[in-house]
Amino acid sequence: MLSARSLFQEIHDDDDAFRLFCSIAAKGEDQGGWENGRISALVADQVLAPKVARHGADEDKHGRIFKALLHKRGLAPVDVPDDTDYTMRLERQGIGLAHSRLRRDEPLSEEDVIVYLAHSRVTEQRASEQMRLLTKVFGGHPDIGRAVRMISNDEDNHLAFCHEELLRLAAAGHGRTILRHLQETARAEIRTYRDVSLAVMAHMGVVLDWPRAKSAALAAGVRSVYAWECAAGWHRMTSLTMPERLNALGGPVPQETFA
């Protein structure tokens, strides 16, 4: 029987599949770290800037964690196939702040900040859900349990940060702009998540030598999730609720390490 638990366990137990999975994850985190680092340097709001920097530092930490998991098994990262690059596929659709914009030393406008926060609110929803799933599967695992719990907690903090900051901007009169960017981003994200998921499953199928019927069943599952998200599921990415974790990225950076 196919399940998330059995699928992730199969990937974990095979060195080549685990190496590909962690390499894809590490590259996405590294990109997120760079983006947030640049945004923090370009944000004029001196209250917001350190929170964005903290977001970027967390993403950098996550990249190091995935690389450390590989190192523990004596594995090296591999090149990430272009079709599995979630971050760059979103950018090519004009979602979020383009890397070309972030490389310019020009302060971000208020709408740029809204674009950043809307993009983060949607993508962090996905990250939070994915890490909660991994925590259910591997939270008690002796080798990777602590890593997935740590990353999951950080992703929940990032999501709380986005909700709180967008609600603050909505109260300042930017509600319509925020909603427009959230809806545009959510619709693009669910398409991108479908395409990247199909690509990852295809690559895993080759690595793990899945029979055609298994690959077809997994692809059908990805498409059924997409159909649900098109019909109704995308709304969970565009709603805004004051989080229980207020000022989630404020205060001192926790001195957590993972080795």
**Tokens standing for 129?**
């859900």
Residue 143 confidence (pLDDT): 85
Contact 181, 110 (CB under 8 A): no
Residue 251 confidence (pLDDT): 65
**Tokens standing for 119?**
């993009």
Domain positions in the chain: 11-237
47 by Cβ neighbours in 10 Å (0-12 / 13-18 / 19+) ranks as exposed
Give the pTM.
0.95
Q: Low-confidence residues of the chain, pLDDT below 70?
A: 1, 251-259
Contact 57, 253 (CB under 8 A): yes
The superfamily CATH assigns to domain 11-237 is: Ferritin, core subunit, four-helix bundle (1.20.1260.10)
Residue 3 confidence (pLDDT): 86
Question: pLDDT (tens digit, 9 = 90+) per residue, 208-219?
Answer: 999 999 999 999
